[in-house]
Amino acid sequence: MSKVVTPAVVSESLEEFWSPRIIGEVDNNYVKVAKIHGTFCWHTHEDEDELFFVLKGRLVIEMKDQTVTLNEGDMFVVPKGVAHNPIAEEECQVLLFEKKETKHTGEVQMEKTRSIEEQQS
């Protein structure tokens, strides 16, 4: 059953940076929120697009052929197969929309990597 969720409230309550929380499901996709700060890591999702929507703050997404800057209320989709590196110079809160099989850091394993189980609200 669906429930009312306020993404900004959930993301504000998160205590750990770069550790997304699943707040909903749409077909074969998860809706997630995360609180981020600093540089994440270069990674790729070979078979999945990844949508970023900035709830609060500013997010820079580096890619090999371009860099985009997202301000509060902006959205950007990183196409599947595109290496990217999210950066938040100051604390930022984002909403993510990803297929359920999308791995947090693609094939890169690092301290910040979170499993789907760790992302459950």
Give the pLDDT band (50/70/90) at residue 81.
Answer: very high
- Enumerate domains of the chain plus CATH numbers: 7-101 (2.60.120.10)
pLDDT, tens digit (0-9, with 9 covering 90-100), for 37-51: 999 889 899 999 999
Q: Average pLDDT of the chain?
A: 89
- The pLDDT of residue 72 is above 70: yes
pTM passes above 0.85: yes
User: What is the average per-residue pLDDT within 13-30?
Assistant: 94
**Per-residue confidence (pLDDT) for residue 109, from 0 to 100:** 63
Q: 42-71: b or e for each residue (b if 16 or more CB lie within 10 Å)?
A: ebbbeebbbebbbbbbbbebeeeeeeeebe
Reduce the secondary structure of 18-74 to three states and give it as a string. CCCEEEEEECCEEEEEEEEEEECCCECCCCCCEEEEEEECEEEEEECCCEEEEECCC
Give the pLDDT band (50/70/90) at residue 120.
Answer: confident
Q: Which position has the higher pLDDT, 109 or 27?
A: 27
| β-sheet bridge partners, residue 26 | 29
